[in-house]
């Protein structure tokens, strides 16, 4: 009897340790995936700065080439053998200078404008990619008090909201409703589908890595790692997420995302700031 108890305890401890280690590995993999998502966006954003640096470094040698080509054109412009080639060389050097000028302009003038995103533009950006899948996406603005909030363009927030909209489209029967509102204190974004809603037994665990609401033999992920990444990114931007089943007629699952207005407008004022990849 004692040996049986010892063996049972040992087996229980081993199984428990294995499950804890497996959960730790899943969590580490999920966090690594989150970092990879942002790393890609940061790499794309850095290309703008590299283009500006290249334009600056290439400006001087290109000016020298253009000057030499101009002098050669004066000397050989009417030469039947080299005149056409010299003229082509000068025209192409001028074209290169115009391209570099545009690259510099994109970095210095367009960056400030592109780094800010009004809330209504954010709504359009996260819903537009999901409109051609047979599910109607309805946009319903709510109460809007004060000027429209214009936040910092944040790839993490765009990815997170887009993932939530995508999940709603996957589970919806016919339509998904996106609502947004703002006042002097809060900025709110909510997504409601007309699907079956969240199962009661897992609603408190939604957002944990590999927690899926898919039922039966369905494959394709469901609300698992993708939702965990989205929730992590949004919470790191200062947002609070609320997952629940809607009480509205014909409505299923509902996700509400809220930011304090000051955090949405200026994420640097909080330690839970948005990722700045601009």
Whether the model clears a pTM of 0.85, i.e. scores above it, the answer is no
Q: What are phi and psi of 191, to 5 degrees?
A: -130, 125
CB count, 10 Å around CB of 73?
Answer: 19
CB count, 10 Å around CB of 139?
Answer: 13
Q: What is the pLDDT of residue 211?
A: 61
Element (DSSP H or E) covering residue 139: strand 136-144
CB count, 10 Å around CB of 137?
Answer: 19
- The token pair at 259 is 């930011």
Question: What digits encode the pLDDT tens for the residues 185-217?
Answer: 999 999 999 888 888 877 777 777 666 654 433
Domains of the chain in sequence order? 1-114 (1.10.287), 117-269 (3.30.565.10)
User: Measured between alpha carbons, how far is 79 from 98 in angstroms, rounded to an integer?
Assistant: 27
Q: Spell out the residues 6+ positions from residue 114 whose beta carbon is closer than 8 angstroms to its own.
A: 153, 278
Q: Spell out the residues 6+ positions from residue 260 whose beta carbon is closer than 8 angstroms to its own.
A: 185, 186, 187, 238, 270
Question: What digits encode the pLDDT tens for the residues 169-178?
Answer: 988 889 999 9
pLDDT under 70 in the chain at which residues? Answer: 27, 30-31, 33-57, 77, 102-114, 209-225, 267-278
| CA angle (249, 198, 123) in 5-degree steps | 75
Q: What is the pLDDT of residue 276?
A: 42
């Amino acid at each position: 009897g004692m040996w049986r108890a010892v063996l049972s305890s040992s087996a229980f401890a081993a199984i428990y340790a294995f499950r804890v280690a497996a959960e730790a590995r899943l969590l580490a993999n999920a966090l690594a995936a989150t970092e990879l998502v942002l790393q890609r966006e940061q790499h794309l954003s850095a290309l703008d700065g590299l283009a500006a640096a290249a334009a600056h470094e290439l400006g001087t040698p290109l000016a020298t080439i253009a000057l030499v080509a101009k002098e050669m054109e004066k000397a050989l412009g009417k030469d039947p053998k080299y005149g056409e080639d010299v003229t082509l060389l000068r025209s192409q050097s001028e074209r290169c200078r115009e391209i570099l000028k545009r690259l510099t302009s994109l970095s210095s003038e367009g960056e400030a404008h592109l780094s800010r995103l009004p809330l209504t533009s954010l709504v359009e950006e996260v819903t537009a990619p999901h409109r051609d899948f047979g599910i109607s996406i309805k946009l319903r603005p709510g109460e809007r008090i004060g000027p429209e909030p214009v936040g910092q363009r944040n790839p993490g927030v765009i990815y997170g909201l887009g993932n939530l909209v995508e999940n709603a489209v996957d589970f919806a029967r016919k339509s998904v409703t996106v609502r947004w509102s703002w006042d002097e204190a809060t900025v709110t974004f909510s997504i409601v589908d007309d699907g079956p809603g969240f199962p009661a037994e897992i609603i408190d665990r939604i957002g944990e890595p590999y927690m899926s609401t898919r039922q039966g033999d369905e494959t394709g992920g469901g609300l698992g790692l993708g939702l965990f990444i989205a929730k992590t990114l949004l919470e790191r931007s200062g947002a609070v997420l609320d997952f629940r089943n809607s009480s509205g007629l014909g409505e299923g699952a509902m996700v509400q995302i809220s930011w304090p207005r000051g955090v949405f407008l200026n994420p640097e004022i909080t330690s839970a700031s948005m990722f700045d990849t601009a």
